[in-house]
Structure 1
Amino acid sequence: MPDFAAFLTSFAELAKLLTPLVYWGALLVGFYFAGSALHKIVKMGNDGHSGQAPTWGGVAGNLLVTLGTVALSSWVTSLSNNFGGLGSGISSQLAYMRDNSTSSLAPLWTAIYAWLFLLGVCAIFRAFLLFNRAAQGHAQEGDGFWRGFWHILGGAILVNISTH
């Protein structure tokens, strides 16, 4: 008979291993956006503009998204520490479920929480990509700022649920 608890434990470990990969991906994308902002500043300084000239709004958007993606790991950690976990004050009032580490469903809850955390981090990362796209003038394809806001809100809720 297969060991379902061992499978769930391995499944949770996979999510915990993928989370730093998302952080590193966000860091690399942040460096790319910083380079893109510098490229736009240089392009604005040239006399001969070819095509659409970059604007300061696009540069500022790149730099703000760079800040968000580079600091993603610390922001998620801060969110987890301030609004999650069991303790006193706000964090214990926002906790959705008490720790049931002694129950037979503990591996299932651990796997669910690990994947909710990963999904929340990915949603927050996606929000920064939507913000960047909207800041570059692609708002006519859908309201990227609002979609980004809802991604951040949903990601924060998922991270909060997973840090119960």
Structure 2
Amino acid sequence: MDINLQAFFGNLQSFAAEGTTFVYLLALCLGMVFGLMAIMDLIAKGKSGGGYGQEKGWGAIIFRLLIASCFVTLASKLDMIISTNGDSTPIKQALAYAQGTAGGGGAGALAFVWAAISTWVVFLGTAGFMRGFLLFDKASQGGQDSGDNAWRGLWHVIGGALCVNVFS
């Protein structure tokens, strides 16, 4: 049985690269949805005459607009991420002993594996970053677990940003 590992990891890398593109396009759509939801909340607040009914508070509306702007800004960075996604140079420098060549200067026997891993880490980091902002929105709307959602959102954003910055 002949297994072509390079083709396998190449396919994994291309799948993660396409998934990253999908996540960024999803961020653009979510940004528009959150912007429209904030506008609808503003309209509902205006129609109620500023009373203390069931409408959202100003903090929740402003935070939803902030999240919408973050999603749209995230989607605008897609070209930069696509151009650097899969670049395994930082991994090659950190793991020079595993490259199969003296000094770590060559392409290495496992370069395709490191490229696939770095692409997947960027993909999962981007998804985690977006999930963090969704948790922030859930926390801003109130509820029993809003404090927990705020902390979970913070760690998702930090972890996602670290993954994307380290591997791209």
Assess same fold via TM > 0.5.
yes
Distance 1:29 1:9 in 2: 30
Contact 1:116 1:158 in 2 (8 A): yes
Residue pair 2:140, 2:146 contacting (<8 A) in 1 also: no
Partners of 2:16 and 2:131 lie apart in 1 by 17
1:47 positional shift: 3.3
TM-score (norm 1): 0.80
Partner of 1:45: 46
Task: Confirm or deny: 8 A CA contact 2:138 2:146 kept in the other structure.
Answer: no
For the pair shown, the structure with the greater C-alpha radius of gyration is 2
Q: Which residue of 2 aligns with 1:92?
A: none
- Paired residue type of 2:165: N
Distance 1:72 1:107 in 2: 28
Aligned residue number for residue 149 of structure 2: 144
Deviations 1:61-112 (A, max 9, x none): 110110111111345748x98xx987xxxxxxxx554286611101110110
Counterpart residue number, 1:18: 19
2:62 is aligned to: 60
Q: In 1, distance between residues paired with 2:88 and 2:76?
A: 17
CA distance 1:139–1:125, change in 2 (3 Å)? farther
Letter in 2 for 1:128: F
Work out whether residues 28 and 75 of structure 2, in 8 Å CA contact, stay in contact via their aligned partners in 1. Answer: no
Calculate percent identity across the aligned residue pairs: 34
**Matched positions, count:** 152
Q: How far apart in 1 are the matches of 2:91 and 2:157?
A: 19
Distance 1:141 1:149, change over 3 A: closer
Say if 1:132 and 1:141 are closer, same or farther in 2 by CA, change over 3 A.
closer
Over residues 21-79 of structure 1, what are the superposed CA-to-partner deviations in whole Å (9 max), with x where a residue is unaligned? Answer: 0011111111111111011111011138796121111110110110111111345748x
Gaps of 5+ in 2: 100-105
Q: Does 1:133 align with 2:138?
A: yes
The CA distance in 2 between the partners of 1:105 and 1:19, in whole Å, is 23
Separation in structure 2 between the aligned mates of residue 112 and residue 85 of structure 1, nearest angstrom: 9
Report if the CA contact (8 A) 2:88-2:118 is conserved: no
Where relative contact order (Cα < 8 A, 6+ residues apart) is larger, the structure is: 1
**1:120 positional shift:** 0.6
CA contact (8 A) 2:124 2:160 kept: yes
Aligned mates of 2:145, 2:3 — CA distance in 1: 52
Report if the CA contact (8 A) 2:88-2:115 is conserved: no
1:115 aligns with 2:117: no
Q: Which runs of 5+ in 1 are unaligned?
A: 87-94
